[in-house]
Amino acid sequence: MKKLLCPSMMCADYRYLEKEIESLENAGIDIFHLDVMDGNYVPNFGMGLQDIKYICEKSIKPVDVHLMIEEPNRYIDMFVNLGVDIIYVHPEADSHIVRTLQKIKSKRIKAGIAINPGTAFYTIEPLLYLSDYVLIMTVNPGFSGQEYIDFVDEKIEKLLNVKDKYNYKIIIDGACSHSRIKILSEKGVDGFVLGTAALFGKNKDYDKIINSLRKYN
């Protein structure tokens, strides 16, 4: 099955955002990945609502939004109205996470949970019934350029083992290098968020990079 390659637009060159969107789509990416941070749930800020609206309007490919914010349930309608196709929420940030996932799905878009490195598998397993996607963080959320946290591999294996039971797709977010993508693709991971480790800040030859990653399908 074709792997989902999801460029993290937080790493894009915003001086030429329209060109970045076009170049990435022409290269064959699958989903644009947008990070939203409120400075509370994680100690950083990004992305702006204007940027999200612009990318949703300009893109042909689906757009996901990763909400690293407190009380995400309060903002679901806003992001749906901006035009996103997938919304990821962190269970720790929402005291009524089941209700929030149900709300996302009621909007006829895809619901996803984002799992931090320190989040135990057993605490999120009941949520898998409502999850179309599971975003596994292999770095601490909030900053790009971090090193891969190896002990998350055990959690990846557990989520792979029950993937068919709950019918979700697994996406890895954090330090997704070419070598790591190759290893995890062979294990059955469905997709990867591409940041500075594999895509951005290399040589701008997105066609060549995406084509090289496709060989791991």
The residue from 64, 94, 132, 173 that is catalytic is: 173
Asked about 35 being catalytic, the answer comes back as yes
Whether the CB-CB separation of 77 and 104 falls below 8 Å is answered with no
DSSP 8-state assignment for residue 114 = E
Would you mind telling me the total number of residues written for the chain in this entry?
217
Confirm if 68 and 87 have CB atoms less than 8 A apart. no
64 is catalytic: no
Q: How many Å separate Cα 182 from the centre of its chain?
A: 18
For residue 148, give the 3-state DSSP assignment.
coil
- Classified as helix, coil or strand, 130 is helix
Cα 132 from Cα 119, distance rounded (Å): 19
Q: Which of 13, 35, 85, 205 is catalytic?
A: 35
Question: Catalytic positions, please?
Answer: 35, 173
